[in-house]
Amino acid sequence: MTLVSVSGNLLFIAFVCYLAATLFFGGAVKSSTKEIATSEKRWGRIGIIITIIGFISNLGYFVTRWIAAGHAPVSNLFEFTTAFGMMIVGSFILIYFLYKTPLLGLFALPIAVIIIGFASMFPTDINPLIPALKSYWLYVHVITAALGESILAMSAVAGLIYLTKNIDLTKKSKQRFWLEAVMLTLVLVLGFVASTTTFKVMDYEASFNYIDKEEKADEITYNVPPIFGMNEYEALTPGTMTPLVETPPIVNAKKLTTVTWSLIFGLVLYVLIRLIIRKPIAALLQPLAKKANSQLMDEIGYRAVLIGFPVFTLGALIFAMIWAQEAWSRFWGWDPKEVWALITWLFYAAFLHLRLSKGWQGEKSAWLAVIGFIIIMFNLIAVNLIIAGLHSYA
């Protein structure tokens, strides 16, 4: 077995461990109130042990891939997103030992699983480094930034639990709507994983000639059935679907198609879930969240931001500036990825100020934490895939 395949297997083991640990944390939370102390402890302990085993395996993936590639595995979208998923688990372990709450695992691990699953949809080859990435600042900057983001993500997890517990789901309200929207978003990510996997298994491929926005001819290959065609496309692969709509040159029809398929799969999945459980997903989770102490969740949410904010500042702004100065001759260039790191930072600064001075605690604070996580994911995914800049990996 080569080192690369060892690495892949370790990642898979970690993935399975996280799924298993989620079930145990579920068990810990579900146990009835009377035997809560002992049972919660027992199930919770098994849960955290499995999580730690998974995390070690995950670290094993990281180290072996690092050795195989000769550089830290944070240099493309797959590697970076996987590392982020791993660090979410690491941050969860940290918070678990500070606050001993299994419930957190029940929400944090599925999120890590979704993120790692999402990551695996991108090309997993080991890339050689392009000149701009050849710097040890790459590792220092990316790893610290991702670590900061993953700790900040814990506050969203605590916030989500707070909201699931405290929002009245029996009445129609804005809060109920948005909470379910967050759940739907998670299902849509699963939709992306499901659609990509389906077409990958089918080995779908359709190539086209098209004219790009600079009016040059180019070729593109879809790995999903083309719903949208590129500008002035011309099919090259016989026997594949004819695009339903042709898009203007500034639209990347391939990405639009991928998004559309994810939406279709995700929505079908969501409708199926709703048909089976016969209530909103949030309502399914609510009984589990009911055990949470709101005050404690609020405290964890705040503490996670307090721990994560300095790490994020160091990694995503300060180390980033040092590296940019070395690589691009300027520490700041208003590149979209840089700007979104700044936006994330400003957002959490606002969070801290609102909390400290305006007393935004409890529900408001929980919503802010969830929005913060959405901004982080936006920077991770949308900015990479949609807004092309110097950082663009894809």
Partner 1 sequence: MNKILCTCGHENPKGTVLCGSCGRPLTEEASNQKLVDMRYEGSARRSQTFNKSIIDKVWNFFSSVKVGVSLIVIILVAAAIGTILPQVFYVPATGEAEIAAYYERVYGTFGKLYYQLGLSDLYGSWWFQTLIGMLGISLIVASLDRVIPLYKSLKKQRTRRHESFMKRQRIFGIGENALGENTFAKSEEKLKSLGYNVKREDGAVLGEKARFSRWGPYINHLGLIIFLFGVMLRALPGFYVDETMWLREGETRAIPETPGYYLKSDEFILETYDKEKADEVFNDAIERVGTIASNYQTDVVLYKKPEDALPGQTDKLEEVKKDSIQVNEPLKFEGFAVYQMDFRLDELRSMQFNLSNKATGESLGDVSVDLVEPEMSYDLGNGNKVELLGYYPDFTGFENGEPQTQSPIPNNPAFLVKMTTPETPKGETSFVAIKQTVEPFGENKYKLEFNNVETRDVSGLTIRKDKTLWVLALGGLIFMIGVAQGSYWNHRRIWIHETKDGHIAVAAHTNKNWLSVKKDLDQVTLVANLPPYIDQHDLEALEEKKDGEKSS
Q: Which residues of this protein are in contact with ligand HEM, per CB under 6 A?
A: 346, 349, 352-353, 356-357
Cβ pair 332, 324 in contact under 8 A: yes
Q: Which partner in ligand HEM, partner 1, none is near 99 (CB below 5 to 8 A by kind)?
A: partner 1
CA distances from 205 to 199, 208, 210 (A): 9, 10, 16
CB of 246 to partner 1, least distance (A): 16
Q: Which is nearer to partner 1, 241 or 339 (CB)?
A: 339
CB of 43 to partner 1, least distance (A): 22
DSSP string, 118-169: HHTTS--PPPPPPGGG-SHHHHHHHHHHHHHHHHHHHHHHHHHHHHHHHS-S
Nearest Cα to Cα of residue 155 among 357, 384, 394, 347: 347
Residue 151: phi and psi, rounded to 5, are -70, -40
> What's the token pair of residue 225?
């059935």
Q: Which partner in ligand HEM, partner 1, none is near 245 (CB below 5 to 8 A by kind)?
A: none
Nearest Cα to Cα of residue 24 among 11, 2, 41: 41
CB of 130 to partner 1, least distance (A): 6
CA distances from 199 to 89, 202, 205, 224, 235 (A): 29, 5, 9, 6, 19
Q: Which is nearer to partner 1, 192 or 340 (CB)?
A: 340
**CA angle 315–50–280, rounded 5-degree value:** 80
Q: Which is nearer to ligand HEM, 279 or 353 (CB)?
A: 353
Q: Which partner in ligand HEM, partner 1, none is near 287 (CB below 5 to 8 A by kind)?
A: none
Nearest Cα to Cα of residue 153 among 43, 312, 285: 312
Q: Which partner in partner 1, ligand HEM, none is near 122 (CB below 5 to 8 A by kind)?
A: none
DSSP string, 34-82: TTHHHHHHHHHHHHHHHHHHHHHHHHHHHHHHHHHHTS-S-SSHHHHHH
> What's the token pair of residue 188?
């849509």
CB of 312 to ligand HEM, least distance (A): 11
CB of 142 to ligand HEM, least distance (A): 22
- Strand 228-229 with 217-222, pairing: unpaired
Nearest Cα to Cα of residue 355 among 374, 344, 369: 369
Q: Which partner in partner 1, ligand HEM, none is near 178 (CB below 5 to 8 A by kind)?
A: none
Contacts of residue 116, Cβ cutoff 8 Å, sequence gap at least 6: 11, 14, 15, 18, 81, 82, 85, 86
Q: Which is nearer to partner 1, 152 or 281 (CB)?
A: 152
The residues binding partner 1 (CB under 8 A) are: 4, 68-70, 99, 123, 125-132, 134-135, 137, 213, 248-250, 293-296, 299, 302-303, 306-307, 309-310, 313-314, 318, 321, 325-331, 333-336, 339-340, 342-343, 346-347, 349-350, 353-354, 356-358, 383, 387, 389
Q: Which is nearer to ligand HEM, 96 or 309 (CB)?
A: 309
Q: Which is nearer to partner 1, 69 or 154 (CB)?
A: 69
CB of 359 to ligand HEM, least distance (A): 12
Q: Which partner in partner 1, ligand HEM, none is near 354 (CB below 5 to 8 A by kind)?
A: partner 1
Q: Which partner in partner 1, ligand HEM, none is near 4 (CB below 5 to 8 A by kind)?
A: partner 1
Q: Which is nearer to ligand HEM, 111 or 297 (CB)?
A: 297
Question: CB-side exposure of 30: number of CA atoms within 13 Å?
Answer: 10
3 state SS of 331: coil
Contacts of residue 183, Cβ cutoff 8 Å, sequence gap at least 6: 280, 281, 282, 285
CB of 315 to partner 1, least distance (A): 11
Q: Which is nearer to partner 1, 238 or 248 (CB)?
A: 248
Q: Which is nearer to ligand HEM, 72 or 305 (CB)?
A: 305
Q: Which is nearer to ligand HEM, 26 or 315 (CB)?
A: 315
Q: What is the rounded CA–CA span in Å between residue 213 and residue 392? A: 18
- Strand 234-235 with 245-246, pairing: unpaired
Q: Which partner in ligand HEM, partner 1, none is near 242 (CB below 5 to 8 A by kind)?
A: none
CB of 355 to ligand HEM, least distance (A): 6
Q: Which partner in partner 1, ligand HEM, none is near 39 (CB below 5 to 8 A by kind)?
A: none
